Amino acid sequence: MAVLLIAEVNGADLALDATAKAVSAAKALGDVTVLVAGSGIGGAADAAAKIAGVSKVLSADDAAYAHGLAEPLADLVVSLAGGYSHIVAPSTASAKNALPRIAALLDVMVISDVTGVVDADTFERPIYAGNAIQTVKSKDATKVLTVRTASFEAAGEGGSASVEAAAAAGDKGLSAWVEDKVAASDRPELTSAKIVVSGGRGVGSEESFGIIAALADKLGAAVGASRAAVDSGFAPNDWQVGQTGKVVAPELYIACGISGAIQHLAGMKDSKIIVAINKDEEAPIFQVADFGLVADLFDAVPELTSKL
Amino acid sequence: MKVLVPVKRVIDYNVKVRVKADGSGVDLANVKMSMNPFDEIAVEEAIRLKEKGAVEEIVVVSIGVKQAQETLRTALAMGADRAILVVAADDVHQDIEPLAVAKILAKIVEEEQPGLVIAGKQAIDNDMNATGQMLSALLGWGQATFASEVEIAGDAAKVTREVDGGLQTISVKLPAIITADLRLNEPRYASLPNIMKAKKKPLDEKTAADYGVDVSPRLEVVKTAEPAGRSAGIKVGSVDELVAKLKDAGVV
Ligand SMILES: Cc1cc2nc3c(=O)[nH]c(=O)nc-3n(C[C@H](O)[C@H](O)[C@H](O)COP(=O)(O)OP(=O)(O)OC[C@H]3O[C@@H](n4cnc5c(N)ncnc54)[C@H](O)[C@@H]3O)c2cc1C
């Protein structure tokens, strides 16, 4: 059995945490070759070669892959797919964009958001916003899957895989990159942070999100948000935690002014410790919180920040 | 330009899902079913493009059980012009996989020749997030997934996408597939007069066999289980008590 694992690349850099978590899931399936595709990704390929458990790195360094466009990336992966039993990637926005396309080109089903590997053909994945866990057995020749990073520990360093160049597979020009709007931040990344502080509709405004951010900064945490907070313009889209946003499982998740809809819980209920601060003692978030504080967040959050 | 919008009938997002005791699946008997919320957003976007004059006709398609007819009628009441129902299952518990759905949609696209397909980014039942991408692969078209803004500009669509780091804007050549994310628009409610009018709009009924597509699943469902439960902890009376608990737990 051999696995082709598609590394997550941001710009020209390897997203080490997401890639190393996918390596953990993939190691159980066979010998792992990591594909790093992008432009100017020599350093990223070298970084991938150091992940423990990686036996080979393929580096596809070409302008066609600079912005993660699905069509050229899918064509590249399909050109390399022969000989691999599994094609695996971490469940990131870019992998969710490309892997179903790859699967359809290979005439196989995609298995999205795998949370458990039972054996080489059998996988667990959440359905209905995590309200049920389905075990599925694939009958396809090649298994194409995305793995939920929150469910796997990152593989360590210490590998010394060889790096080989992979030939680019062309670009039919079906789509073209125009621009990225990415806010630079010194905070840890939401999906790999040890602590996440999230705000919901109860925070009330973009300015008030400052008190959420202040607590996060005190704790060295990432900032998250509910869909309602994002829809209302209090927080950017990439902070959304939930069924259709990011899935996180930090050591500590602090939910402030979030009611606890199932779609939100789907993204954070595997956190080790959950704290809820909400002024409504009936809020469903308290049913999953280890420590609940019934209070006005405008009093409690600044007080917490000052006392930590 | 003609737009095709696939819509799925799913459990309503407000319904608490129950796993069947025998582990064979989720109980869908006598529960409220609705149009997948992302598909509502896709239908709305098609209607807005029509209102702007960029689109002439909106064809909605649903693939599944016969009852998906109601979902199509909802789309027609919102403002779609015509509907195609592809009956591919008898039992509401049988989910048609995205690959089979994409194959049927590809055949319909060949017949209908739309200039654009707008789909929801994921269905809230199987949470696969795959049909749009698979369809564009089968057609050899470009794809713009997770759209939060769409602008038709000549023979291309400029689409802003919600990605992990923020937003990405791409330009995709038409014909293409766009998949709708939550913030693309806020879908309208169908008015009563429009619900009445929708009853008279054309709805063609087909079967999967009409398109020669084998819908048997590639993924065998071995079992469906409840997720690991999480029980409520304690309520603390003050911020001081909370700080003490967090220190005891060693997380701060
Ligand atoms: C298809 C679909 C997908 C979705 N995906 C997601 C998703 O990925 N993530 C997500 O989060 N949601 C998602 N949702 C939305 C979800 O159903 C809820 O609407 C949303 O999570 C509610 O956000 P909220 O808790 O911030 O707002 P509300 O439910 O309005 O809750 C606000 C809370 O703040 C409390 N509050 C108000 N003021 C204060 C104060 N001063 N101090 C303390 N507490 C206060 C209130 O008591 C209340 O409990 C999705 C919905 C659909 C239909």
DSSP string, chain A: -EEEEE--EETTEE-HHHHHHHHHHHHTTSEEEEEEEESS-HHHHHHHHTBTTEEEEEEEE-GGGTT--HHHHHHHHHHH-TT-SEEEEES-HHHHHHHHHHHHHTT--EEEEE-EE-SSSEEEEEEGGGTEEEEEEE-SSSEEEEE-GGGSPPP-B----EEEE--------SEEEEEEEE---SSPPTTT-SEEEEE-GGG-STTTHHHHHHHHHHHT-EEEE-HHHHHTTSS-GGGBBSTTSB----SEEEEES----HHHHTTTTT-SEEEEEES-TT-GGGGT-SEEEES-HHHHHHHHHHH-
- ipTM value of the model? 0.97
For testing the chain B interface, which of A73, A75, A111, A131 should be mutated: the one with the most B CBs within 10 Å?
A131
The string of pLDDT tens digits covering residues B83-136 is 999 999 999 999 999 999 999 999 999 999 999 999 999 999 999 999 999 999
User: CB–CB of B164 and A238 under 8 A?
Assistant: yes
User: What b/e sequence results for A197-211 when a residue is b if at least 16 CB atoms lie within 10 Å of its CB, and e otherwise?
Assistant: bbbbbbbbeeebbeb
Which residue lies with its CA nearest to atom 18 of ligand 1?
Answer: A261
Instruction: Kindly determine whether residue A175 and residue B221, on different chains, have CB atoms separated by under 8 Å.
Output: no
Closest CA to B157 of B44, B46, B43, B7: B46
Instruction: Express each pLDDT in B34-61 by its tens digit.
Output: 999 999 999 999 999 999 999 999 999 9
Q: Given a cut of 90, is residue B232 above it in pLDDT?
A: no
pTM of the model: 0.97
pLDDT in tens, B138-157: 999 999 999 999 999 999 99
Determine contact: B195 vs chain A, CB below 8 A. Answer: no
The one-letter amino acid at A286: F
Task: Quote the ligand 1 centre to B112 CA distance (angstroms).
Answer: 40
Task: Decide: A227 in ligand 1 pocket, CB within 6 A.
Answer: yes
| Whether the Cβ atoms of residue B183 and residue B41 lie closer than 8 Å to each other | no
Ligand 1 pocket check: which of A96, A205, A227 to mutate, most ligand atoms within 8 Å of Cβ?
Answer: A227
Span B178-208, pLDDT tens digits: 999 999 999 999 999 999 999 999 999 999 9
Nearest-CB residue to A126 (from B97, B130, B227): B227
Tell whether omega for the bond before B175 is within 30 degrees of 0, i.e. cis.
Answer: yes
How many angstroms does the Cα of residue A258 sit away from the middle of ligand 1? 5
d(CA A127, CA A141): 24
pLDDT > 70 in chain A, percent: 100
Token representation of residue B143: 């794809």
pLDDT at B63: 98
Taking the C-alpha atoms of residue B149 and residue A222, their distance in angstroms, rounded to an integer, is 27
Give tens-digit pLDDT for A180-196.
Answer: 999 888 999 999 999 99
Judge whether residue A105 has pLDDT over 90: yes
Facing residue for A307 by CB, picked from B141, B232, B240: B240
Within its chain, how far is the Cα of B73 from the centroid?
Answer: 16
- 3 state DSSP class of B164: coil
What distance lies between CA B5 and its chain's CA centroid? 9
Pairing between β-strand B82-87 and β-strand B203-207 as defined by DSSP bridges? parallel
**In which band, very low, low, confident or very high, does the pLDDT at B163 lie, cut at 50, 70 and 90?**
very high
Between the alpha carbon of residue B237 and those of residues A270, A295, B234, B243, the distances in Å are 25, 9, 10, 11
Indicate if ligand 1 lies below 6 Å from the C-beta of A103: no
How is residue B19 annotated by DSSP? B
Domains of chain A in start order, with CATH, are 2-165 (3.40.50.620), 190-307 (3.40.50.1220)
- Asked if B143 and A73 count as a contact pair (C-beta separation under 8 A), the reply is no
* CA pair distance A164, A4, nearest whole angstrom: 14
B225:A133 CB<8 A? yes
| Nearest CA among A206, A229, A195 for reference residue A305 | A195
| B233 to A67: CB separation less than 8 angstroms, yes or no | no
Return d(Cα A58, Cα A50) in angstroms, integer. Answer: 13
